[in-house]
Structure 1
């Protein structure tokens, strides 16, 4: 974890529970992370603890990676990318907002399967009536 001058304050791995405890115990600060599948969850946790969250798209982190792209290299590149003045940040999605595409896909799948069932039944001569 670097400060604003770029000096690394500490560097160690966290389990989920210790990260949550760490975030809630820290004074309000900027929490920058690479946007990914779990970043909305961790962004919500950090925002709940009062921090400002900056989710950086992976494509914007890549230019700051000095060697091969890996988790460790990304972790070193993210603070540099977060300090860049012209960087675009992604908003933290709420759980409700994240559920919308899943609901839509489930509905589309149900409608498709329902149409296939009606089509198959009509080929056999059966019909569905509304009760």
Structure 2
């Protein structure tokens, strides 16, 4: 199955990642450190990413868009 949507809970150091397929079936539940985020999303096929609005959300939205993802 292919991950089509990812939700991110942003934090200072450890981010919570939850990915689902087009049917809503959970395919990914993961914790990533800030230093691991770019590498993980650079190697992931482009998908829709939702995240909360906070101080660092604009930074991460720009970074994830560089990798071809759609950020909401």
Q: TM-score, normalised by structure 2?
A: 0.68
Total equivalences in the alignment:
54
Matching residue of 2:40:
22
Deviation, 1:4, is 2.0
Question: In structure 1, how many angstroms separate the alpha carbons of the residues matched to 2:25 and 2:50?
Answer: 16
Is 1:41 the counterpart of 2:56? The answer is no
Runs (4+) of structure 1 exceeding 6 A deviation are none
Gaps of 5+ in 2: 1-18
Report the structure number with the largest CA radius of gyration: 1
Q: Superposition RMSD on alpha carbons, in Å?
A: 1.0
- Give the helix-richer structure, 1 or 2: 1
- Give the strand-richer structure, 1 or 2: 2
Gaps of 5+ in 1: 55-131
Question: In structure 1, how many angstroms separate the alpha carbons of the residues matched to 2:49 and 2:20?
Answer: 11
Deviation, 1:31, is 1.1
Write the deviation string for residues 29-62 of structure 1: whole angstroms up to 9, x where unpaired. 11111111110011011011111111xxxxxxxx
